[in-house]
Amino acid sequence: MLDLMKRQSVDLLIDQFWKNGYLTISRKFGTYLPEPKRMGGFDVDIVARYKKDYAIGITLNEEDLDNPELKNKIEFLATRQTKFSNKKVLLFVGIPNDLRKKMEFIISTLDENIRKNIKIQFLNHEPISNTKTKKKKTFFN
């Protein structure tokens, strides 16, 4: 069940990448795309690109927010740069909407330059069992 929620979180974060114009290069739980490599010993869920700009995406749940290593992980991933042009790589952090205050507190403890490179995306999870069983209204029976 936890794996299914993580997969749904990654899918919702990819939707946010697409809305911002990014093209997915690698992702976790993908069928056709490869899984992203670990960066500095940390797991990454998505790597994407928009023209010559790159972005990294991670999804977090309540257990992740209680992890004392989370601040180091966010700080490390938010300070990444491209290899040759040294452009900053934007970090997308996807979290459930009910964890907003906890995440904002963690981000507020970081340096100003690091905070500018982080984009928080609030993910709205729908119940998994009811997503495809809803009846549609029809005018004719």
Tens of pLDDT, residues 66-92:
888 888 899 999 888 888 888 888 999
When computed from its CA atoms, the radius of gyration of the chain, rounded to whole angstroms, is 17
Rounded distance between C-alpha atoms, residue 87 and residue 140, angstroms: 57
Range(s) of the domain holding residue 11: 2-123
Structural domain includes residue 84 = yes
Q: How many domains does the chain have?
A: 1
Residue 140 is predicted with a pLDDT of 65
CATH number, residue 59? 3.40.1350
Structural domain includes residue 140 = no
Nearest to 125 by CA among 13, 19, 20, 8: 8
Rounded distance between C-alpha atoms, residue 91 and residue 50, angstroms: 13
Structural domain includes residue 79 = yes
Helix H or strand E segment including 65: helix 62-65
Structural domain includes residue 137 = no
Mean pLDDT of the region 110-117: 89
Structural domain includes residue 128 = no
Structural domain includes residue 89 = yes
pTM score above 0.85: no
Mean pLDDT of the region 58-73: 88
pLDDT band at 4 (very low <50, low <70, confident <90, very high): confident
Render pLDDT for 94-103 as a digit per residue (tens, 0 to 9).
998 888 888 8
Structural domain includes residue 56 = yes
Residue 50 is predicted with a pLDDT of 92
Structural domain includes residue 139 = no
